[in-house]
Amino acid sequence: MKSFRNMTYPYIVWLALFVVAPMLMIVFYAFTNAGNDMLVFKFTLENFTRFFQDPDFLRVLYTSLKIAFITTVICVLIGYPTAYVIAKQDENKQAVYILLLTLPMWINMLVRTYAWKGILMNFNISSEFKVFVGMVYNFLPYMIIQIYTSLAKMDKNLLDASYDLGANKMQTFLRVVLPLSIPGVISGITLVFLPAVSSFFIPKLLGGGDYVLIGNLIETYFITTGDWNFGSAISLIMAIIIIVSMYFTKKIDKRIGEE
């Protein structure tokens, strides 16, 4: 047991250097102003008040949440039937379909987005539609896989029992299949909504500059303007939103599991 415990030390060091330390730096920059000396500095809430008092920043936050929400809903509407059809096939076909589904994910997301930019530039469609195409395409596999996992490991005896008790296919789906697959749906929502709300290169490449989301805002203040303090404050706000979202989804998942 002690030897296994020693194997965790490299991971702990890696976690401290590349996760904890950057987060502490973000918190430090968020609560200080530019020009403070590392030895003599003053904490301030100016970066946060600047964000919440500016209607343009709040509009960007609202747009980010709206696009992430709509993307998640579309992924659920497309992903659930797709996962259900895959789960109904025999095991060999399921493996082939899942392989075909995950094959594009082996290619870097940025490369795939550039490919969609080349495809969509030939069509006279709105920038908003292009952004949704990119969002749904990149995040839909995560939704399908999570729902498929819940459906595939479902006890088939429950379906047979439902039919034996006189339920038809629709009643069996609504009263047995759908409730048991809700944890997969919630996991899929988490894996789609959280990265979608903070995405920056998809709206940047496909939106043509018409859409500025919260991720683009963070990128601008870190890379373009060099205002790391305000960029860190926005990052911290997004981190809090993500943590709150994960808390509620976990709470809903737990409640459904208990029921």
Q: Using alpha carbons only, give the angle 198, 202, 205 rounded to the nearest 5 degrees.
A: 140
Those residues with Cβ within 8 angstroms of residue 116's Cβ, 6 or more apart along the chain or in another chain? 130, 133, 134, 137, 206
183 part of a folded domain: yes
**Distance in angstroms (rounded) separating the CA atoms of residues 118 and 163:** 50
246 part of a folded domain: yes
Give buried/exposed letters for 151-171 (b at 16+ CB in 10 A, else e): bbebeeeebeebeeeebeeee
144 part of a folded domain: yes
Tokens of 217: 């805002």
240 part of a folded domain: yes
Query: How many whole angstroms from its chain centre is CA 6?
Result: 33
Query: What per-residue confidence (pLDDT) applies to 242?
Result: 86
30 part of a folded domain: no
Query: What per-residue confidence (pLDDT) applies to 224?
Result: 84
48 part of a folded domain: no
Question: What residue has token string 């490449």?
Answer: 205
Q: Using alpha carbons only, give the angle 180, 106, 8 rounded to the nearest 5 degrees.
A: 75
Count how many domains the chain has: 1
Q: What is the CATH number of the domain that holds 87?
A: 1.10.3720.10
Query: What per-residue confidence (pLDDT) applies to 78?
Result: 95
Range of the domain at 171: 54-258
Q: What is the mean pLDDT of each run of 10 residues along the chain (259 residues)?
A: 70 84 88 68 86 91 91 95 91 89 87 90 86 93 93 82 81 85 90 89 81 84 87 91 84 70
163 part of a folded domain: yes
Note if the pTM is more than 0.75. yes
Tokens of 127: 């920038």
The answer to whether 107 and 165 are in contact (CB under 8 A) is no
25 part of a folded domain: no
